[in-house]
Chain A
Amino acid sequence: MEHIITANPYFGVFVLFVLTFGAFTATTIIARLASRALAAKDTEKIKLSVYECGPEVTKQPNRLSPQFYLFALLFLLFDVEIVFMFPWAVDFKVLGWFGFTEMILFIILLAIGFVYAWKKGALEWHNIK
């Protein structure tokens, strides 16, 4: 199969973006209209309360375990690494030994950070020393 030659390859992506968002927004609007016309309605006030969190509707504080923030930090460390590694991988054969050694050094630097996080207990659940 040959490549398609066009002015801009991202044109299709743009059309897809517009059409999908349009189609799915239209779906929710149609569903809302249909349910207004057809659904069995019930004027019970307590129905609008939050599911299985007590009958009174109160604003709840959204508290999260700090563990999730640690994972976010780890992700930042390693996903930035991958962003740098993708162009290297594409041009791997061109860059040769020089590029390979550079990348090994980069990985070793990150591995030190990874070992530190492991020793510090950032990878265990609820066990932050």
Chain B
Amino acid sequence: MDVAYLIATVVKIVIILLVFSALAGFGTYFERKVLAFMQRRLGPMYVGPYGLLQIAADGIKLFTKEDIIPANVVKPIFKIAPVITAATAFMAAAAIPFMPSFTIGGYEVKPIVSDINVGLLYIFGVMGVGLYGPLLGGMASANKWSIISAARSAAVFISYEVVTGLSILAPVMMVGSLSLIDFNNWQIENGWIVMYQPLAFILFWIAAFAETGRTPFHLVANDHEIIDGFGTEYSGMRWGLFFIGEYANMFFISFVIPLIFLGGFGEGTFVDGLLFFGKMAFFFFFFLWTRAAWPDVRPDQLMWLCWKVLMPLAVINVVITGIVMM
């Protein structure tokens, strides 16, 4: 292991941490603006030009809030839960190639932190560990709303993990690898996977909403039923870390969907790279669009949809893919 590799790894990680923490902040701004425009409002306007400094104002507010730890909570678990959420969300970034490789001063930079051969499995595994944030936070809070939210989040995450895993099997059978770089290279020669696997694409997309806890499946922290769910007892930056984790997850899923199904960055020219960011931006925008356009589902409807519709469809898709490929 040479020194250049060591330095490159640390620099990449620091850049990912800084960029995606900032993007998570901007994500809240985008969300408020998009929701406001869809409801014929203006959104944040007063702090800075077009309300752009609203993020800084929110950050100052979160840091100077009184740090309340309520009576009866289990303190060590209560304190570590938000850190788990944010950290596991960022750890998923390790196996994602964010853009085509490029050269700076004769040194070729590959924008992927660690090139694991089971990248997809790693990403889903780390996102599965992310469940422990809401679960532990909710159970340690000693609050009725939090415990309901913890149970719901566990049910939603583990149920839709089955759909995610099964829907991704058919593309994995076609490509014969679990590395996202191999997915990208396979699609250069054979065309986008979404043309062969439209059903898997839609199933994975639906499951992505559940995995990130976004609106049609936002019953993890449904305001009108269970206050703020697992975040009810949290204040200040501890609550903010839950938020950073949620938005970072949305961004990483928005990178993963185009990489698996929509050709990724292709051969890696400048135009391809721009197109890749365009695709990613569309998927992020779709999260916000859905929030403005759709109501939430009930927990029983969510489970019905997962176990009786999506899961059998995913299994049938795998079997049909196998028969066609034979």
Q: Do A34 and B63 touch (CB < 8 A)?
A: yes
Whether A12 touches B154, Cβ cut-off 8 Å, given contacts A17-B91, A20-B87, is no
In the bound complex, how far is the Cα of B325 from the Cα of A53, in angstroms? Answer: 58
Q: For residue A80, give the distance in angstroms from its CB to the closest CB of chain B.
A: 10
Q: Do A48 and B63 touch (CB < 8 A)?
A: no
Whether A71 touches B303, Cβ cut-off 8 Å, given contacts A15-B9, A19-B17, is yes
Collect the chain B residues with CB atoms within 8 Å of residue A64's CB. 147, 151
In the bound complex, how far is the Cα of B90 from the Cα of A17, in angstroms? Answer: 9
Within 8 A of A (CB), among B161-208: 161-162, 165-166, 169-170, 172-173, 176-179, 181, 184-185
Q: Hey, what's the 0/1 contact readout for B266-290 against A, CB within 8 Å counting as 1?
A: 0010000000000000000000000
A39 at the interface (CB under 8 A from B): yes
Within 8 A of A (CB), among B93-152: 93-95, 97, 100-101, 110, 112-117, 121-122, 139, 141-145, 147, 151
Q: Do A107 and B303 touch (CB < 8 A)?
A: no
Q: Across the two chains, which residue of chain A brings its CB closest to B89?
A: A20
- Determine the main DSSP class of A at the interface with B: helix
Collect the chain B residues with CB atoms within 8 Å of residue A92's CB. 173, 176, 322, 325
Q: Across the two chains, which residue of chain B brings its CB closest to A37?
A: B64
Q: For residue B149, give the distance in angstroms from its CB to the closest CB of chain A.
A: 11
Collect the chain A residues with CB atoms within 8 Å of residue B65's CB. 35, 39
Q: Across the two chains, which residue of chain A brings its CB closest to B268?
A: A1
In the bound complex, how far is the Cα of B65 from the Cα of A42, in angstroms? Answer: 12
Collect the chain B residues with CB atoms within 8 Å of residue A53's CB. 143-144
Interface size on A, residues (CB 8 A): 75
Collect the chain B residues with CB atoms within 8 Å of residue A38's CB. 64
Q: Do B144 and A60 touch (CB < 8 A)?
A: yes
Q: Across the two chains, which residue of chain B brings its CB closest to A32?
A: B67
Within 8 A of B (CB), among A1-60: 1-4, 6-13, 15-17, 19-21, 23-25, 27-28, 30-32, 34-36, 38-42, 47-53, 57-60
Collect the chain A residues with CB atoms within 8 Å of residue B13's CB. 12, 15-16, 19
Q: Do B70 and A50 touch (CB < 8 A)?
A: yes
B210 at the interface (CB under 8 A from A): no
Whether A20 touches B90, Cβ cut-off 8 Å, given contacts A48-B71, A71-B303, is yes
Within 8 A of A (CB), among B45-59: none
Collect the chain A residues with CB atoms within 8 Å of residue B23's CB. none
Collect the chain B residues with CB atoms within 8 Å of residue A4's CB. 110, 112, 115
Q: For residue A35, give the distance in angstroms from its CB to the closest CB of chain B.
A: 4
Q: Do A13 and B83 touch (CB < 8 A)?
A: no
In the bound complex, how far is the Cα of B112 from the Cα of A36, in angstroms? Answer: 39
A68's contact among B155, B318, B319, B325, by CB below 8 Å, is which? B155
Q: Do B63 and A78 touch (CB < 8 A)?
A: no
Collect the chain B residues with CB atoms within 8 Å of residue A3's CB. 115, 179, 181
Within 8 A of A (CB), among B232-271: 232-233, 236-238, 240-241, 268
Q: Do B154 and A68 touch (CB < 8 A)?
A: yes
Q: Do A90 and B178 touch (CB < 8 A)?
A: yes
In the bound complex, how far is the Cα of B68 from the Cα of A59, in angstroms? Answer: 18
Q: Do A51 and B145 touch (CB < 8 A)?
A: yes
B39 at the interface (CB under 8 A from A): no
Q: Do A57 and B72 touch (CB < 8 A)?
A: yes
Q: Do B308 and A123 touch (CB < 8 A)?
A: yes
12 new A-B contacts, CB < 8 A, other than A1-B185, A60-B72, are: A12-B12, A16-B13, A16-B93, A20-B17, A21-B83, A47-B68, A51-B143, A75-B162, A78-B311, A82-B162, A85-B318, A92-B325
Instruction: Please provide the 10 A-B residue pairs with the shortest distance between their CB atoms, ordered closest to farther.
Output: A12-B114, A31-B237, A125-B300, A39-B66, A82-B165, A12-B113, A20-B87, A75-B158, A89-B172, A4-B115
